[in-house]
Amino acid sequence: MDASATPTEEMKRDPMHFTDRITPGGDWPVQAGRYRLVISRACPWAHRVVLARRLYGLDEAISLAVTDPVQEIIDDENHWVFTSRTGSPDDKDPVLGIHALREAYLAREPGYDGGVSVPGLVDVPTGHLVSNDFNQLTLDFGTEWTELHREGAPDLYPKHLRDEIDALNEEIYNDVNNGVYKAGFAPTQASYDRAVHALFARLDRLEDRLTRQRFLLGPTITEADLRLWPTLVRFDAVYHGHFKCNIRKLIEYPALWAYARDLFQQPGFGDTVNLNHIREHYYAVHTGINPTRIVAAGPDPAQWLTPHHREELGGRPFGEGTPPEPPPLPDRVPPVV
Catalytic residue list: 43, 181
CA angle (44, 237, 251) in 5-degree steps: 105
Residue 318's contacts (CB-CB under 8 Å, 6 or more residues apart) are 55, 152, 154, 220, 221
Distance CA 302, CA 49 (A): 25
Residue type, 295: V
What are the angstrom distances between the C-alpha of 69 and each of 1, 39, 82, 220, 284? 14, 10, 9, 32, 9
Q: What angle do CA 89, 90, 94 make, to 5 degrees?
A: 50
96 vs 125: CA distance, rounded Å: 9
Q: What element of type H or E holds 171?
A: helix 162-172
Helix (H) or strand (E) holding 28, with range, is: strand 28-29
Helix (H, G, I), strand (E, B) or coil at 268: coil
Contact 300, 92 (CB under 8 A): no
Is 80 labelled a binding residue?
A: yes
Q: How far apart are the first and last CA of the chain?
A: 30
Which residues are part of a known binding site? Answer: 80
Annotated binding site for glutathione: 80
